[in-house]
Amino acid sequence: MTDPLDEQDDASTPLTEEEREQLAPSYITLRSELNEAEQANILEAEEWAFSRKRDVLDERFLKNLHQRMFGRVWRWAGKFRQSERNIGVDAYRISTGLRQLVDDCRYWIENGTYDPDEIATRFHHHLVLIHPFPNGNGRHARLAADLLLTASGRPRFTWGRINLVDASKTRKAYVAALRAADNHDYGPLLQFVRS
């Protein structure tokens, strides 16, 4: 018999058995229940995050943000992954990668290297590329990018919400835009974040 939590949607990184054992609520047995619990937790985190200006460009804040987004659901929330993935840097390089990203982003802001939308887009892409946590990296990176953007006085990104009719198509467009950015073509991702 297959485990209902093993049913991967195309939006999440597969978890190791050890990571799955860290599921906090015992009532969750189905993927739909997990998605619902995570979404409720994320909404609480958004309310907290946007309640005042935050220093997004700080490793401790990024860990705290992830913990607030997923802490009611996963015991590993806010802790860097210890296992290797088919995406992301080696686990031992996460802290170094984040420090480099934060430093680069501060430089871009201080020197006006890019406009605020492009800074937030590049920040989001690099944060996803590092993939610091066992799961929730895309959702975490999108919220962090939105916080960085609003700190510069810009409105949050829409992240493809204009096409809510076909979520699968939106997800495919997002992943394709991330892959283009992996090859240093940020055009599709810049277009997607405001679509």
Give whole-number Cα distances, 123 to 30, 159, 190, in Å: 33, 14, 12
Quote the CA–CA distance of 143 and 166 in Å, as a whole number. Answer: 22
Other beta carbons less than 10 A from residue 148's beta carbon:
23
Q: DSSP string covering 97-154, please?
A: HHHHHHHHHHHHHHHT-S-HHHHHHHHHHHHHHH--SSS-HHHHHHHHHHHHHHHTTP
Is 4 a residue whose pLDDT tops 60?
A: no
**9: pLDDT confidence band, cut at 50, 70 and 90?**
low
Mean pLDDT over the full length of the chain: 92
Residue 187 CB contacts under 8 Å (≥ 6 apart), including other chains? 180
3 state SS of 23:
strand
Residue 158 CB contacts under 8 Å (≥ 6 apart), including other chains? 193, 194, 195
**1: pLDDT confidence band, cut at 50, 70 and 90?**
very low
Q: Can you give the C-alpha Rg of the chain in angstroms? A: 16
Looking at residue 18, its pLDDT comes to 87
Whether residue 147 contacts residue 50, with contact meaning beta carbons closer than 8 Å, is answered with yes
If phi > 0 it is left, if psi is from -120 to 50 it is alpha, else beta; for residue 138 that is alpha
Cα dihedral sign, 176-181-183-185: positive
Is 13 a residue whose pLDDT tops 80?
A: no
Domain architecture of the chain: domains with CATH: 26-156 (1.10.3290.10), 158-195 (no CATH)
pLDDT for 149-164, tens place per residue? 999 999 999 999 876 6
Q: What global pTM score does this model have?
A: 0.92
Phi/psi for 23 (5° steps) reads -65, 125
Give whole-number Cα distances, 139 to 26, 87, 108, 110, 128, in Å: 23, 15, 23, 26, 9
Looking at residue 96, its pLDDT comes to 98
